[in-house]
């Protein structure tokens, strides 16, 4: 909230607690989470269904450095 960031990048989502907290911040419009483990992405997705953050959080599964390169190439 200090920076009024509209787009946030999280590297390593684990159980999603910080992702939800970040997505609930007043200014956040999109949170991109990079997570290596597909089962953790599935877990977090199942926990946010029907919540106010469901459409704010996007996941990229894979190796973080490769995911960062992909984001850069897409101009995001």
Which of helix, strand or coil describes residue 8? strand
pLDDT for 3 = 80
Fold for domain 7-73? Answer: Rossmann fold (3.40.50)
Cα 72 to Cα 18: distance, rounded to the nearest angstrom: 23
Dump pLDDT digits (tens) for 26-44. 999 999 999 999 999 999 9
pLDDT for 69 = 96
In the predicted model, residues of the chain with pLDDT beneath 70 are 1
Helix (H) or strand (E) holding 47: helix 38-48
Which strands make up the sheet holding 7-11, listed edge to edge? Answer: 7-11, 30-35, 57-61
- The mean predicted confidence, pLDDT, of the chain is 95
Which of helix, strand or coil describes residue 4? coil
pLDDT for 1 = 62
Answer for the pair 46, 55: CB distance below 8 angstroms, yes or no. Answer: no
């Amino acid at each position: 909230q200090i920076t009024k960031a509209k787009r946030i990048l999280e590297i390593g989502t684990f159980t999603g607690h910080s992702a939800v907290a970040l997505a609930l911040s007043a200014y956040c419009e999109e949170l991109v989470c990079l997570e290596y483990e597909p089962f953790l992405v599935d877990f977090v997705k199942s926990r946010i269904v029907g919540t106010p953050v469901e459409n704010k959080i996007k996941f990229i599964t894979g190796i973080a450095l490769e995911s960062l390169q992909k984001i850069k190439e897409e101009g995001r």
